[in-house]
Amino acid sequence: MKRPKQLPLTETTYYILLALIEPAHGYAVMQLVDDLSDGDVKIAAGTMYGAIENLLKLHWIASVPSNDARRKVYQITEAGKEILILETKRLRKLTQIAEHFHL
């Protein structure tokens, strides 16, 4: 099977999509990515909102209703989940190959 042109994802994009499995606003996503990555991936506000714009254009995330009028809330879409699953499979395959070489 040919790999989609969108893969591989950047580490930041991968974490953002993971974080948006549950609805969240940008700042909450930034905090969750920091937590999930044990502080290895820190997303600046400008990077976060640029990523959100790009993910919206790709239809991998969508804006969802929120009780807080001051913050936009986003969630991963089915298309976003599909790309996240494909990327996760790709990463697992790489890990299996490395394990074969006892790394």
- Higher confidence at residue 68 or residue 34? 34
Q: Quick: pLDDT tens for 34-61.
A: 999 999 999 999 999 999 999 999 999 9
Sign of the alpha-carbon dihedral angle for 91, 32, 78, 71:
negative
Buried b (16+ CB within 10 A) or exposed e, 59-72: ebbbeeeeeeeeee
Instruction: Give the whole-number percent of the chain exceeding pLDDT 90.
Output: 89
Q: What is the pTM of this model?
A: 0.93
Please name the residue ranges forming H helices in the chain: 11-19, 26-36, 45-57, 78-100
The CATH code for residues 11-100 is: 1.10.10.10
- Mean pLDDT of the residues in the chain: 95
Strands 61-64 and 24-25: unpaired
